[in-house]
Amino acid sequence: MKRQQTLNAARKAVGSRHRRYGTPTANFEAIARLWGAHLTTKLGTPVEITPTDVALMFVYTKGARLQHDQAHADSWIDIAGYAACGAEAAEAK
């Protein structure tokens, strides 16, 4: 897959998901609260996770999957989408 195809597919993927999940920043804030609460309970120490952390952890997840199949286009597309959503979340701080 060419880079423009990857970026266009990522743009398409993140472009309409707000209707189902809310804005990326709001969705990542909700995920951050849940992950933080879970880790705080599990570790017994307060853990603060930010929406930007959520974007990075999704990128890491996709990166781990790519170790198994580096040609899996969907993972590359998702990384581009998570990077864009993470940049938006970072700007919203």
46-65 pLDDT, tens digit each: 999 999 999 999 999 999 99
Q: Which residue has better confidence, 13 or 59? A: 59
Express as a percent the part of the chain with pLDDT over 70: 100
- Which runs of consecutive H residues, i.e. helices, occur in 1-93? 3-16, 18-21, 24-43, 51-68, 73-92
pLDDT at 39 over 80: yes
Mean pLDDT computed over 31-56: 97
Q: What is the mean pLDDT of the chain?
A: 94
**How many helices (H) does the chain have, and how many strands (E)?**
5, 0
Q: Taking the CA atoms of the chain, what radius of gyration do you get in angstroms?
A: 14
**What span, in angstroms and rounded, lies between the C-alpha atoms of 20 and 5?**
24
Secondary structure (3-state) at 75 = helix
pTM of the model: 0.90
